[in-house]
Structure 1
Amino acid sequence: MKMVQTLEAVKTEQEINLIDNVFTASEAATIINDVLKVKINFHKLKRLSITEGNEKDACEYDSGRIDELLNEQQIAKDFFSQARIKGKKLKIKSKIYIEIEE
């Protein structure tokens, strides 16, 4: 029996079509708010894991990204509120691009 070896190409990038649809203002608000909450919690947990178990740590951590996301959350809330008042639907498109970094 002869064994055949094949070389498989290594995938170095990926694209995910996450959101691509038209939504009511309430649906859009729910989707975007949930995505922002996940990202905010990710950064909060990362901050906590950096300082966890070190009682001498001054807990000084750059919360810039968290503050940025909280600000974006408020801007989005206002935007969706305006769309809701006007009875408008919203089209959301979101793609995630992932690349292996060398």
Structure 2
Amino acid sequence: MDTKHNLKLIDGKFTPSEARKVILDLIGTKINFHTMEAFSIKERFNGDVSYSEQRIAELKEARRHLEDIIKNASEKGLNLKVVSFIGITCIKEN
């Protein structure tokens, strides 16, 4: 059985408006995931949420950077070529 998988998630040309929706929706979903995960860990276990908090900060920074790229493309009348892959590795935890 293959334990590594690489899948093309996004591959296309987008207007700045379309790119904003596709890319920022993905990032927003990840931010929401980590927000809910942190809430759950705090509420149920009063546990450490530093990983989720760090990822939220990283994702928010990525979102700001992408918004700048999209705004710049829009101001210049450019479209965006977006390609995104997702790598998945099956691992066995000890």
Question: Which TM bucket (shorter chain)?
Answer: 0.7 to 0.9
Task: Specify the structure having the higher radius of gyration (Cα).
Answer: 1
Question: How far apart, in 2, do the equivalents of 1:49 and 1:79 lie?
Answer: 34
Gaps of at least 5 residues in structure 1 are: 1-9
Does the 8 A contact of 2:10 with 2:84 survive in 1? yes
TM-score by length of 2: 0.85
SS in 1 for 2:22: helix
Report whether the alignment pairs 1:38 with 2:26: no
Gaps of at least 5 residues in structure 2 are: none
Question: How far apart, in 1, do the equivalents of 2:54 and 2:9 lie?
Answer: 26
Moved over 2 A (4+): none
Q: Which residue of 2 aligns with 1:24?
A: 15
Aligned residues with identical type, % of pairs: 36
Q: CA deviation at 1:40?
A: 0.5
TM-score by length of 1: 0.79
Q: Give the one of 50, 62, 71 matched to 1:72.
A: 62
Q: Give the one of 6, 12, 15 matched to 1:15.
A: 6
SS in 2 for 1:52: helix
Question: Aligned partner of 1:61: which letter?
Answer: V
Q: Which residue of 1 aligns with 2:39?
A: 48
Q: Size of the alignment, in residue pairs?
A: 90
The structure whose residues are more often helix, as a share, is 2
Question: How far apart, in 2, do the equivalents of 1:50 and 1:99 lie?
Answer: 25
Question: How far apart, in 2, do the equivalents of 1:96 and 1:45 lie?
Answer: 22
